[in-house]
């Protein structure tokens, strides 16, 4: 397989479930490992580092300013990540039948792009503090996908109406979206993680 992305794979005791873990700006492939273990202690975990650097901070795609994305780069990077994930899943976890992507912030935005642009690569998604990744391109149907969205009513980086618009787009395309709102700014809190875990264990 092509080693386009730095990554870590931890095999779980249940080889059927895989969690793909996508970090926020400045993070790396290790960042969400503990979170993944919390959501599903038995699943295999695939943490992937974004390929773009903003200063010394890894991201999954370039932005022109905070909240303003370089859409050309977004699509290029989404394609690259999509190819990597397909290869990594068949290499590390050929027998999986439940793939969940979990992303925080920039990682949630590239995960939303994968859902909106590509034929089904994941069955479930947990998007923490996500926004609308692009507006100037088509969004495919997202039938049979279950998505948990955790967001802040007072997130200074992701305005509430951005996440709301994303939820609307996903629902219009057929996704089943569970939304939860918190009052802790851009922070990912334990309460939000617990809610995601409860949702995950109910729909798996
Ligand atoms: C982004 O993708 O830029 C996020 O929405 C904000 C961040 O990750 O800093």
63 in contact with ligand 1, CB cutoff 6 A:
yes
Cβ atoms of 137 and 71 within 8 Å: the answer is: yes
pLDDT per position as a tens digit, 102-152:
999 999 999 999 999 998 889 999 999 999 999 989 999 998 899 999 999
Which residues are catalytically annotated? 105, 155, 186
Model pTM above 0.85: yes
Superfamily for domain range 7-203? Alpha/Beta hydrolase fold, catalytic domain (3.40.50.1820)
Q: Point out which residues pair with 53 in neighbouring strands.
A: 58
Share above pLDDT 90 across residues of the chain, in percent, rounded to a whole number: 94
- By CB atoms closer than 10 A (0-12, 13-18, 19+), residue 20 is buried
pLDDT at 180: 98
Rounded CA separation 49/42 (Å): 22
In the 8-state DSSP scheme, what is residue 176? E
Atom of ligand 1 nearest to the CA of 25: 8
The pLDDT assigned to 120 comes to: 81
Among 51, 62, 64, 66, name the best residue to mutate to test ligand 1's pocket (greatest count of ligand atoms within 8 A of Cβ).
66
In angstroms, the CA 52 to CA 98 distance is 28
Indicate the top mutation candidate among 58, 131, 152 to test ligand 1's pocket, ranked by most ligand atoms within 8 A of CB: 131
Classify the C-alpha dihedral 30-183-159-200 as positive or negative.
Answer: positive
Give the pLDDT confidence of 57-111 residue by residue, as tens digits.
999 999 999 999 999 999 999 999 999 999 999 999 999 999 999 999 999 999 9
């Amino acid at each position: 397989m092509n080693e386009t992305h730095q990554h870590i794979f931890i095999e779980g005791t249940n080889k059927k479930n895989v969690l793909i873990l996508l970090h926020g700006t400045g993070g790396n492939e290790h960042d969400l490992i503990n979170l993944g273990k919390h959501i599903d202690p038995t699943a295999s975990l695939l943490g992937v580092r974004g390929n773009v650097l903003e200063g010394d901070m890894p991201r999954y795609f370039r932005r022109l300013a905070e909240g303003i994305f370089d859409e050309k780069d977004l699509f290029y990077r989404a394609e690259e990540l999509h190819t990597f994930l397909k290869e990594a899943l068949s290499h590390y976890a050929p027998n999986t039948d439940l793939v969940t992507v979990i992303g925080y912030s920039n990682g949630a935005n590239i995960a939303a792009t994968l859902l909106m642009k590509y034929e089904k690569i994941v069955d479930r998604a947990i998007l923490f503090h996500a926004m609308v990744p692009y507006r100037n391109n088509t969004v495919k149907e997202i039938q049979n996908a279950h998505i948990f969205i955790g967001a802040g009513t007072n997130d200074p980086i992701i305005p509430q109406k951005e996440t709301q618009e994303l939820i609307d787009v996903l629902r219009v395309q057929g996704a089943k979206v569970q939304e939860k709102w918190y009052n802790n700014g851009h922070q990912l809190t334990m309460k939000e993680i617990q809610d995601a875990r409860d949702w995950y264990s109910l729909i798996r």
